[in-house]
Structure 1
Amino acid sequence: MQPPSACPCRGGIPWQGVLLAVSLLTFWNPHPTAQLTIEPVPSDVAEGRDVLLLVHNVSGNAVGYAWYRGQITDRTRLIVSYSNLTHSATPGPAFSGRETVYPNGSLLFVNLKKEDTGFYTLQTTTDNFDAEVATEEFCVHGLVAQPSLRATNTEPHSVAMTCLSGDPGISITWIFNSQTLQLTDRMQLSPDHRTLSIDPVRKEDAGEYQCEASNPASSTKSDRYRLAVICEWPPSHPVLLSYISTVKGHHMAPAMSMG
């Protein structure tokens, strides 16, 4: 039996012809112009660092760019404008001296401050006076200060280590022997993760502990603290001896003993 070579309706055309026609229509159908967008690199940046407002999908016949602080194209908020005709940049009222605009429309912002957090708007103009606008935001975070680690006895056979930091809005990660700490059933973290409790302490808990404080743009670790466990609980006689010491280079200063 031969495969059908035409549509079943009267006057139909071969199905290969239909596919060819569809293919040609798809090929010649123009794609819609991609929308102008801004990509902050990075989107979360530390205070004192730089951010690049990278522009995508600029029209090929763009002749000028204008960057504004905020979400509207208000002349009083103009940072800088650039002309592709004269290849020159003109600062506006909101120019701080820390911005550089490139011929492709992208804007480099250096030595950022917390108050630079917010929205930024780009307006492009073409040679036929069409305008296109895009808005994006980025966040500037303070550099995280180094935390400190304090250890205390909560019971003769347990220890609590607290990560001390005055920075708001940070997350805390615990590190054991240079690796992310894997919690056991004898370990418990406080709701804000700032305090690590071990009860009871075992010999396998001996080693170096650190806490790492971080925000979306920066992070820093405390000095290393070393926990030594001499005798487990319950021992044959009620003695648990452990100590914690700060490890800085090759110097080790005992900070606690339990017995």
Structure 2
Amino acid sequence: MYQLEVPSWKLTVSVLYKSMCISACEQVFSLFTESITDIVVKSHTSEIKENDTVTLTCETKNANRIVWVRVSGSLPSDRYQSNARRTITFPSIKRSAAGDYYCEAENLASKKRSNIYTLTVNLFLSVWMERVSAISIQLIPPYPAVGQSVTLSVTGINGNIRQIMWYKGSNTDASNNILIYIPSANQPQINGLQYFSRASALPNASLLISDLEFTDGDNYTVTVQTLQPAQQTSVKLTVYEFVTDPVVKSNISIKENDPVTLTCETENAARIVWGRVSGILPSDTIVSKDNTTITFPSIKRSAAGDYYCEAENPVSKKKSNIYTLTVNSCSTAAMAGIICGTILIIVLIISVTFLLYKRYIIPLKENKQGCAKCAQDTSRVYDNILNSAEDQTSKEDPSYMGLQFRHQDGYGELKR
């Protein structure tokens, strides 16, 4: 409206606008003629788990335009970007979002591309974390024992291996690194903070551990870099010890109706099985949760027999000694007590009889034998009597000889 009425004013305004535009453009041009600094993609989350909120930042200066790119496809549909597009955010990241990302920054003077950032999304299982990847690890042998060797064999690798990194644990922190292996290097193996001399990398990305110790059991993680994006996975290594010889024991004297427990004493067993030589276990037998004991709540004589236990784990299996279970009945015990009491009484009677015999009967017999000898030896008595009479007579009448008991020698003298 003003242009039609005042043409001269229109000209003045146009000149003024042109002057102002040139001034502003010069300022804008001068602002974006500085070169873009080096670009770096960073994430403030060190370990990304599924469903976490993750933000990637494109760090640079002097850029008037930033573009985010995913190497192997389009950006996830649920991501959102800041107004200046310096950040890209995944509000609840999924495993499908894993991949290689970069950002491009440009202005009127320059254009630059960032490093490749590999976004890895981890999935936690019940006990240990399994990295999402196409590669996997197999244990050879599957059940290694103390003193043996085991190979953590990596399978599913596509392309030429450029770098291998092994970690002890479920994450790839530098403090967990065992070794780095670069096949093309003159000295391909570089030892990390968790390195131990029994571990060595193989060119196919596998890890060999020799002379296994029980403490070697842990999670092991490998990162394999080829021309494709780096792939990562973990495995649980369990080191087994051989089962010790099992022994069946019971610490009580067993009588009918008593509660009785048998114990299978062993170590390193993953499974224990009880057996009875001549049949199955009694129906009222109670087996503990870990199978280390069996209990008879009120044992019967029918439970008597030979028992054993077997202990096993994935690397060994052993059978115990045969335990003979003897059950004594109450009537048998009472009969045994009566028999023992009777025998004791008999022994006492015999002992008392012997003592009485020795004290009274033997001396009595000796006295009787002495009297019998006196009765049989009459010559001595008679001779004494005669001698006494003879002595008396001779005193009264010296010519009286008297009757005397004479020896046979005296008869010989008369013949003279």
Give the TM-score normalised by structure 1.
Answer: 0.59
CA contact (8 A) 1:153 1:160 kept: no
Distance of 1:39 and 1:160 partners within structure 2: 43
From 164, 182, 194, the counterpart of 2:265: 164
SS in 2 for 1:52: strand
**Separation (CA, whole Å) in 2 of partners of 1:59 and 1:149:** 55
Select which of 141, 156, 179 maps to 1:80: 179
Counterpart code for 1:120:
Y
Shift of 1:227: 4.7
- Structure 2: gaps (5+ residues): 1-132, 334-416
Task: Give the direction of change, closer, same or farther, for the CA distance of 1:227–1:142 in structure 2 (3 Å limit).
Answer: same
| Residue 139 of structure 1: aligned partner | 238
Kindly indicate whether residue 169 of structure 2 is the aligned counterpart of residue 106 of structure 1.
no
Sequence identity (%):
27
> Judging changes above 3 Å, is the alpha-carbon distance between structure 1 residues 69 and 197 closer, same or farther for their aligned structure 2 residues?
closer
Separation in 1 of the partners of 2:309 and 2:323? 10
2:220 corresponds, among 120, 127, 130, to 120
Structure 1 residue aligned with 2:294: 196
Partner of 2:322: 224
Question: Out of 131, 155, 158, which is 1:56 matched to?
Answer: 155
- Secondary structure in 2 aligned to 1:46? coil
Letter in 1 for 2:213: K
Structure 2 CA distance for partners of 1:61 and 1:82, relative to 1, 3 Å: same
- The alignment's TM-score, normalised by the length of structure 2, stands at 0.40
| Matched position secondary structure for 1:108 | strand
Q: 1:223: how far off?
A: 2.6
Rg bigger for which structure?
2
Query: Does structure 1 residue 155 correspond to structure 2 residue 255?
Result: yes
Q: Aligned residue for 1:130? A: 229
Tell me if structure 2 keeps the 8 A contact 1:122–1:133: yes
2:239 is paired with a residue whose SS is strand
- Shift in Å at residue 129 of structure 1? 6.8
Q: Between Structure 1 and Structure 2, which shows a larger proportion of strand residues?
A: 1
Alpha-carbon distance between aligned partners in 1 of 2:241 and 2:190, rounded to the nearest angstrom:
28
Alpha-carbon distance between aligned partners in 1 of 2:198 and 2:274, rounded to the nearest angstrom = 38
Matched residues in 2 for 1:145 and 1:212: separation?
Answer: 11
Picking from 116, 138, 158, the partner of 1:39 is: 138
How far residue 83 of structure 1 moved from its aligned partner, in angstroms, is 3.2
Deviates more, 1:216-225 or 1:106-115: 216-225
- 1:211 paired residue number: 309
SS in 2 for 1:161: strand
Equivalent pairs counted in the alignment come to: 197
Q: CA deviation at 1:109?
A: 1.6
CA apart distance, 1:56:
1.5
Query: Can you give the 5+ residue segments of structure 1 that lack an aligned partner in the other structure?
Result: 1-33, 240-259
Determine the C-alpha separation between the residues in 1 that align with 2:170 and 2:284.
52
Are the counterparts in 2 of residues 147 and 211 from structure 1 also a CA contact under 8 Å?
yes
| Greater Cα shift, 94-103 or 192-201 | 192-201
Two-structure CA RMSD over aligned residues (Å): 3.7
Q: Aligned partners of 2:248, 2:203: CA distance in 1, in Å?
A: 50
Q: What secondary structure, in the 3-state scheme, does the structure 2 residue paired with 1:115 have?
A: helix
State the Cα distance separating 1:98 from its structure 2 match. Answer: 1.2
CA displacement at 1:58 relative to structure 2: 0.8
Query: How far has the Cα of 1:87 moved from its partner?
Result: 8.4
**Residue of structure 1 equivalent to 2:169:** 70
Q: Which has the higher contact order (CA 8 A, sep 6+)?
A: 1
Which of residues 270, 282, 285 in structure 2 aligns to 1:184? Answer: 282
* Residues 210 and 85 of structure 1: CA distance in aligned 2, closer, same or farther (over 3 Å): same
Structure 2 SS opposite 1:35: coil
1:86 shift after superposition: 5.1
Instruction: Name 2:191's counterpart in structure 1.
Output: 92
1:188-247 deviation line (CA, Å, top 9, x unaligned) = 3244432224532438x534x322334565544333334578x9x79xx647xxxxxxxx
SS in 2 for 1:211: strand
State the 1:57 CA deviation: 0.4
In structure 2, the CA distance between the partners of 1:113 and 1:163, relative to structure 1 (3 Å rule), is same
Q: In 2, Cα distance between the equivalents of 1:120 and 1:70? A: 5
